[in-house]
Amino acid sequence: MKRPGIVFLDAETIGEVNSFYVLTKLGNLTVYQSTPEELRMERIHGKEIVITNKVIINKEVIDACPSMKLVCIAATGMNNIDLEYASLKGITVRNVAGYSTESVVQHTFSLLFYLMGNLRYYDDFVRQGTYAQSRLFTHHGRPFHELAGKKFGIIGMGTIGKRVAIAATAFGAEVYYYSTTQRNLDTGYRHLPLSKLLTECDIISIHCPLTASTRDLIGYEELRKMKKEALIINAGRGGIINESDLACALNENLIGGAGLDVLLKEPPDTGNPLFHIDHPGKLLITPHIAWASCESRERLMQGIIDNITDFLAGR
**pLDDT over 90 (residue 132):** yes
Q: Which of 45, 94, 163, 288 is catalytic?
A: 288
**pLDDT over 80 (residue 174):** yes
Q: Which amino acid is at 222?
A: E
Q: Which of 266, 276, 279, 295 is catalytic?
A: 266
Burial class (CB in 10 A: 0-12, 13-18, 19+), 244: middle
Q: Which of 237, 243, 297, 299 is catalytic?
A: 237
**pLDDT over 70 (residue 102):** yes
**pLDDT over 60 (residue 177):** yes
**Euclidean distance between CA atoms 85 and 81, whole angstroms:** 9
202 in Cβ contact with 151 (< 8 Å): yes
Active site residue 237: yes
**What is the rounded average pLDDT for all residues in the chain?**
96
Predicted local confidence at residue 184, as pLDDT: 73
Angle at 225 between CA 219 and CA 231, to 5 degrees: 80
| Domains of the chain, first to last | 5-99+295-312 (3.40.50.720), 101-285 (3.40.50.720)
Quick one: pLDDT band at residue 142, thresholds 50, 70, 90?
Answer: very high
Active site residue 266: yes
For the four alpha carbons of 145, 151, 156 and 157, in that order, the dihedral sign comes to: positive
Active site residue 288: yes
Tell me the mean pLDDT in the region 149-161.
97
**pLDDT over 80 (residue 1):** no
